[in-house]
Amino acid sequence: MTTASPAAAATPVAIPKNDKRITRGWAMYDWANSVYPLVITSSIFPIYWGAVAVDAQGRDLVNFLGFELKGSSLLTFAISAAFLLIAAISPLLTAIADYSGRKKLFLQIFCYLGATACAALFFFTKNTLAPSTFVFVAATIGFSGSIVFYNSYLPLIATEDQYDRLSARGFSMGYIGSVVLLVLCLGLIMGHEALGLEEGFATRLSFLLTGLWWAGFAQIPFRALPPDPGRAADAATDQSWLLSGFRELSHVWAELKRLPMLKRFLLAYFTYNMGVQTVMYVATIFGDKELKLDSTSLIITILLLQLVAIAGAYFFARLSERIGNTRALSWAVFIWALICIAGYFVQAGWSFYALASVIGLTMGGVQSLSRSTYSKLIPENTPDTASYFSFFDVTEKLSIVIGTATWGIIGQQFGSMRYSILALIVFFILGLIFLFTLRGKALRPEAAELLPAAGH
């Protein structure tokens, strides 16, 4: 019979909550990584992709691994593939992280994967379309993979009454930081002649800067965030992370079955997020290919979205304090449904900028509030925050897969992205219906309700 060492038997030290140094450091990861969705997902990269992913006649057609596809559809399919892969591996990795107390390590691994791949897009030219598509997939995996471990820190570092505000602060920091880098990149691209650079080279240089910004500013949260408690004591006596990860995942899944409000929210989130994320990923392509907007108009629109989103995140955080999370989310999703109707008829000009302003307002609100609402739904003081957030993350990723794939398939078949917009209305209506089943009910069950399944 063996006796556990004192180190193995030690009880993990809890993370102090509402510590300003920790919460400020946590929010800085939004500042670090939000440059990826703005520069790569929403603005400069899609415009560059639209210019490069064309045939010899300049048409929106490319040959990819022997298949002839619309260049715009290939981009959405690449996004779908990346999120499908991360959705498959995320639950196991988060269970391992919870069990071993290595949330921070996994956050760092995915951060560096994404930042390195992002920087490698510097080599993306017309002659490297196929390998660059796979590099883009790797960058997207790094970004989306790190988010689940980042989000899982929220209930560990703050009390429940601070979830909405801290989540909003993180998203706001992300919007501000990403705008700063975007302006720098635009200055580089627009002033390329004065700098003696080709426009394509200056554009690709912005991809390199994005990766460096992401990895560089990530050092602030990496220093501020303490190691999570996890189950490091048990891990010291168990040599198999893989088996422990599967065991941990099964425990969380068993608990999830007895949390009806959480399951309902995940269903609602799955449906309305299909619409939200798809709009965010294809808005620039829509403006470029469907509305024929020039790159300057597109960039102005994206900057407008980011700035308005800052106000939106804080507005919906305050609204949730007054009327509750699910009611505030219901209003946001309802507005998104109206946005889709307006988007079908929108034309270039003032109506497009007006619509972009409304998208920005609700974009910041629905993202921030969704994260904080889910934090309120998971069992209080659970050490399995990464595992719980993996289900949130998988729900998000699968919704992106279905949403972007639906958009790409409809656009491929009917030749117009306006028909794709109509499909998104269905997602928002379903999400609204599911949110209605949560209204007026307590988000989290009493602790006594979870006692029968305790013991892991």
Which domains are present in the chain?
16-443 (1.20.1250.20)
- pLDDT tens-digit series, residues 149-182: 898 888 888 888 888 888 888 888 988 898 899 9
The per-residue pLDDT for 247 is 66
Q: Which residue has the higher pLDDT, 120 or 10?
A: 120
DSSP H/E element including 263? helix 260-285
For 447-450, the CB contacts below 8 A with 24+ separation are 447/379, 447/380, 449/258, 450/255, 450/258, 450/379
Q: Which of 245-254, 261-270, 447-456 has the highest mean pLDDT?
A: 261-270
* 55 three-state secondary structure: coil
Q: Which residue has the higher pLDDT, 375 or 252?
A: 375
Average pLDDT over every residue of 212-220: 97
Average pLDDT over every residue of 371-383: 80
Say yes or no to pLDDT of 2 above 50: no
The per-residue pLDDT for 119 is 96
Angle, alpha carbons 399-370-448 (nearest 5°)? 110
The per-residue pLDDT for 383 is 67
* 121 three-state secondary structure: helix
d(CA 140, CA 162): 30
d(CA 446, CA 295): 53
Say yes or no to pLDDT of 454 above 70: no
The pLDDT > 70 percentage for the chain reads 84
Say yes or no to pLDDT of 101 above 50: yes
Task: Give burial (CB, 10 Å; 0-12/13-18/19+) of 316.
Answer: buried
* 258 three-state secondary structure: coil
Categorize the per-residue pLDDT at 254 as very low, low, confident or very high, splitting at 50, 70 and 90: confident
The per-residue pLDDT for 388 is 78
The per-residue pLDDT for 339 is 86
Say yes or no to pLDDT of 11 above 60: no
Judged by average pLDDT, the poorest of 6-10, 87-91, 247-251 is: 6-10
The per-residue pLDDT for 30 is 92
The per-residue pLDDT for 190 is 87
The per-residue pLDDT for 445 is 53
* 206 three-state secondary structure: helix
- pLDDT tens-digit series, residues 53-82: 887 777 777 778 777 788 777 887 888 788
Say yes or no to pLDDT of 219 above 90: yes
Strand partners, 67: 64
Strand partners, 63: 68
Say yes or no to pLDDT of 197 above 60: yes
Contact 92, 249 (CB under 8 A): yes
CA distances from 218 to 10, 30, 213 (A): 30, 9, 8
Count of other CB atoms within 10 angstroms of residue 307: 16
Q: Which residue has the higher pLDDT, 237 or 282?
A: 282
3-state helix, strand, coil in the chain (%, to 5): 80, 0, 20
Contact 175, 310 (CB under 8 A): yes
Q: Which of 18-32, 280-294, 431-445 has the highest mean pLDDT?
A: 18-32
d(CA 423, CA 429): 11
Average pLDDT over every residue of 252-275: 84
d(CA 321, CA 165): 10
Q: Which residue has the higher pLDDT, 235 or 286?
A: 286
Categorize the per-residue pLDDT at 443 as very low, low, confident or very high, splitting at 50, 70 and 90: low
Categorize the per-residue pLDDT at 236 as very low, low, confident or very high, splitting at 50, 70 and 90: very low
Say yes or no to pLDDT of 12 above 80: no
CA atoms within a 13 Å half-sphere pointing along the CA-CB vector of 132 = 21
The per-residue pLDDT for 442 is 59
The per-residue pLDDT for 13 is 59
d(CA 62, CA 170): 38
In the 8-state DSSP scheme, what is residue 454? -
**Residue 43: which residues within 8 A CB-CB, separation 6 or more?**
182, 284, 298, 299, 302
Give DSSP secondary structure letters for 309-356. HHHHHHHHHHHHHHH-HHHHHHHHHHHHHHHHHHHHH--TTHHHHHHH
* Six-digit token string for 310: 């800052």
In the 8-state DSSP scheme, what is residue 287? I
d(CA 125, CA 53): 9
CA distances from 182 to 133, 177, 195 (A): 22, 9, 18
Say yes or no to pLDDT of 18 above 90: no
The per-residue pLDDT for 344 is 78
The per-residue pLDDT for 452 is 43
Contact 424, 278 (CB under 8 A): yes
Task: Output the average pLDDT for the chain.
Answer: 80
d(CA 229, CA 406): 41
Say yes or no to pLDDT of 408 above 80: no
R_g (Cα) of the chain, nearest Å: 22
The pLDDT > 90 percentage for the chain reads 21
Give the torsion sign (CA, 180, 183, 189, 192): negative
Judged by average pLDDT, the poorest of 133-137, 266-270, 421-425 is: 421-425
Average pLDDT over every residue of 251-275: 83
The per-residue pLDDT for 207 is 95
* 294 three-state secondary structure: coil
